[in-house]
Structure 1
């Protein structure tokens, strides 16, 4: 698959497990950018991701600098899902090779990290609402990106 998901310093094991399951079912690689707010161990991942962990492609990066170096050497565009964007996630064009990055559940990503991204998008929602669950937001935009790049044709 030509689409990846990146989790920036995830806080909640269950959300990471949900995204592991999404990655396993959709054939995506999940990048976990440390430090995480919980131990990334086989036991914790198995509890959070159930039996999907063994089917998921998971790549860990010791910090954002190492992830950023890896993805720039791979010429991969980084798309940040954030509430701090004016661009609707449904008005942009996704491309093969994109990496969809989700921030920490508690704080998103720091401005310095956001500035390294090529595209920042938000999910439109009612103005009185703060944000969606990170795993739900990730699943919504993975679906849209896969639809646009015809990523579902390889899944049958």
Structure 2
């Protein structure tokens, strides 16, 4: 396992399915923090993840607090449009956790403010829209982290 991709209360099954597929193909573990906006049995989730879903290293957490308690002492990055630095400035290493927020409203203040120096963002032009699609953002940030790690065991 190279990285831990964490979805905080994801809402859209297709995004989670796409992210799951990315995790399988990059040897990343996917963590989902409840409540989820869908059932893990939904067809849209499985369709987006195609036949990769059975190979996914998946862990579901009952709450953010339970997740943080379990992985106390780990390095956490928070992907947010409110981040103070670009994701390319982070110094990723194997086993790090990258936390992504809900599609509709991102990460809550309480999560972001727990470690503001580890809030990172993907640069975008100023516009009337909020942000990139969640699955696109996960792929962008995960591949930068994997690049820094050296694409270990990837061909």
TM-score by length of 2: 0.92
Moved more, 95-104 or 24-33: 95-104
Moved more, 94-103 or 133-142: 94-103
Match of 1:111 in 2: 109
Give the deviation of 1:13 after TM superposition.
0.2
Give the deviation of 1:85 after TM superposition.
1.2
What SS does the corresponding residue of 1:144 show, helix, strand or coil? helix
Match of 1:127 in 2: 126
Q: 1:20-62, CA deviations, whole angstroms, 9 ceiling, x for partnerless residues?
A: 0001111110000000111122755423312111111000001
For 1:43 and 1:68, locate their aligned partners in 2 and report how far apart those are by CA, in whole Å.
Answer: 30
Match of 1:155 in 2: 154
Match of 1:63 in 2: 63
- Consecutive unaligned residues in structure 2, runs of 5 or more: none
Match of 1:29 in 2: 29
| Aligned-residue RMSD, C-alpha | 1.5
Give the deviation of 1:91 after TM superposition.
1.8
For 2:104 and 2:149, locate their aligned partners in 1 and report how far apart those are by CA, in whole Å.
Answer: 31
Match of 2:41 in 1: 41
Match of 2:92 in 1: 94
Moved more, 7-16 or 75-84: 75-84
Give the deviation of 1:6 after TM superposition.
0.3
Give the deviation of 1:130 after TM superposition.
2.4
Moved more, 112-121 or 31-40: 112-121
For 1:154 and 1:42, locate their aligned partners in 2 and report how far apart those are by CA, in whole Å.
Answer: 32
- Consecutive unaligned residues in structure 1, runs of 5 or more: none
Match of 2:145 in 1: 145
* Matched-pair contact (CA < 8 Å) for 2:33–2:63: yes
